[in-house]
Structure 1
Amino acid sequence: MCYPNSEKSSDRSKYITRLFVILIVLFVGGLVYYLFSPEESGFFPRCPFHTLTGFECPGCGSQRAIHHLVHFDLHKAFTSNPLLIISIPYILVCLWLEYFGGKQKYPKIRKALYGKSAIYAVLIIIIAFWIGRNLI
């Protein structure tokens, strides 16, 4: 026998579970980055690309940027890794689309953010940032 409300209840349960897990991960991660500075603490991993080449990869400075963000220092966060800070809205929308039912409600937005042209645009932006940050 099919219960019409069981699907909605199941979806709601999945939504709440996902939200809870994401909030716990963000809280614990935020607490670690709030309490410890990646510049001073030894347990944060170093970038292998930077260690081997001396050049910065697109992700270099992300840990410092997150540390500064949880301390509400947007200027230092931006100077640590501007690409990460600029990418936060894109990342949040992608997470919402993927994990909170947005992909069913807004397939055009999902296609715009995940489509072939979006992938190429993101790739070009990352490569341009990678080259630019090492030239300047």
Structure 2
Amino acid sequence: MDRKTASGGNHTYIRRLLGIAILLVAGGIIYYLFSPGESSLFPRCPFHTFTGLDCPGCGSQRAVHHLLHLRIKDAFTSNPLLVIAIPYILICIYLEYFGGKEKYPRVRQWLYSKKAIYTVLLVIILFWIGRNLI
């Protein structure tokens, strides 16, 4: 690969990373300033609207709002699965986008294995069923 191609790829990566950062900051500001439970700015869950039951993601917007205000207990009450999943999500982001896959290939292989994916799916399904039974 010549320098021009490598440089262009690097600029594209930086632009994408910058774009993602801008979207995250803008979204964070919106979620910090407005409460999803009180504002019509945020979409409602279609599954909950049609069935009256909670999906695994129900309460995630409120949980994000609470986390941004450092109200961990309220965030956990809104959606415990989201709060518990944050370390897993952050590790996966590090491994995928910040050089972790080169430093820790075995961890990445384990977190993205078929067994790990099925485990995450099972946890989501059990959470979905459990939150509607309690």
2:53 aligned with 1:55: yes
Where does residue 45 of structure 1 map in the other structure?
Answer: 43
* Alignment-mate amino acid for residue 32 of structure 2: Y
Where does residue 99 of structure 1 map in the other structure?
Answer: 97
Q: How far off its partner does 1:43 sit?
A: 1.7
Where does residue 74 of structure 2 map in the other structure?
Answer: 76
Give the conservation status (yes or no) of the 8 Å contact 1:15–1:100: no
| Percent of pairs with identical residues | 65
TM-score relative to the length of structure 2: 0.87
Going from structure 1 to structure 2, the CA distance change for 1:11 and 1:96 (only over 3 Å counts) comes to farther
Gapped regions of structure 2 (runs ≥ 5) = none
C-alpha deviations, 1:55-74, integer Å up to 9, x for none? 00000000000011111111
C-alpha deviations, 1:95-115, integer Å up to 9, x for none? 111112222222111111110
C-alpha deviations, 1:7-62, integer Å up to 9, x for none? 6x788766655553343222111100011111111120100100111100000000
Gapped regions of structure 1 (runs ≥ 5) = none
Q: How far off its partner does 1:123 sit?
A: 0.6
Give the conservation status (yes or no) of the 8 Å contact 1:60–1:81: yes
Coordinate RMSD, CA, aligned: 2.1
Instruction: Provide the aligned length of Structure 1 versus Structure 2.
Output: 133
Runs of 4+ in 1 over 4 A off after TM superposition: 9-19
